Amino acid sequence: MTKPIDIDAVTEATWPPASITQHGPWRVREGRSGGQRVSATTANGPVNASDIAQAEAAMAALGQTPLFMVRPSDAALDGLLDAQGYLRHDPVVIYAAPVTTLADPALSPMAAFTIWPPLGIATQLWAEAGIGAGRLAVMDRTQGPKTCLLGRVNDRAAGVAFIACHGKTAMLHALEISPSQRRNGAARNMMRAAAVWAADQGADTLCLAVTENNIAARALYANLGMDEVGAYHYRVKQG
């Protein structure tokens, strides 16, 4: 059984924005081209329609397009943003499992290995998947235990991921499998290797975020024994 996880705290610690500022009821993140997760604003508590302009101004001051992250507890905010023309975008599901569940059976050390900083082949695989300097900077500024995970199939690099720990929870980010090496077991092997690394750091749980429409990945995580433990989506301004 998967223990309860403070998803917001784990996500922010293992994939941190460049800066965070408080503006009234808002937590405003500066992403610096690090992707939506580190650029999205969230509500700290109840908000009303007039508060949204304050968040928009704070994001504009950072040179960012208004972007809100909406969690299941933010139903009222979701309605306010919808009424102001914000479109629902990129719904995400959070999966988690005990590392003991994922680490079994034992994995060949040649199937995946961890190393920090990333090797050139790792950054190349990320670049081919559209993960560039902005997201690599997120990895660099992550504090605490962290590593690059490189998967291998047929004696060649097949996939790459980033893992970091917050307390007893490890979170996997930026998992990418080379298109030519998909459906060869690379992702499954890498999840097992990630769990072994996490356990070695003292973590008891491994989690990750995946877009709702990534059916193949979600099927893999469910097959590995991972549970759905959370969700969120974004709201972006129409037009």
Indicate the average pLDDT of the chain. 95
Q: Between the CA atoms of 10, 16, 22 and 26, what dihedral angle is there, to the nearest 10 degrees?
A: -60
- 202: Cβ contacts below 8 Å, ≥ 6 apart: 165, 168
pTM above 0.85, yes or no: yes
Residue 104 confidence (pLDDT): 82
Q: Which residue has the tokens 């101004």?
A: 57
CATH code at 95-231: 3.40.630.30
Which residue ranges make up each domain of the chain? 17-92, 95-231
> Smallest Cα–Cα separation from 172: which of 157, 159, 162, 186?
162
> Smallest Cα–Cα separation from 14: which of 174, 183, 182?
174
| Angle 105-129-88 from CA coordinates, rounded to 5° | 95
What is the spatial distance between Cα 181 and Cα 173, in angstroms, rounded to a whole number? 19
Per-residue pLDDT tens for 114-127?
Answer: 999 999 999 999 99
Predicted confidence (pLDDT) at residue 74 exceeds the cutoff of 80? yes
Structure tokens at 161: 């991921």
Per-residue pLDDT tens for 134-146?
Answer: 999 999 999 999 9
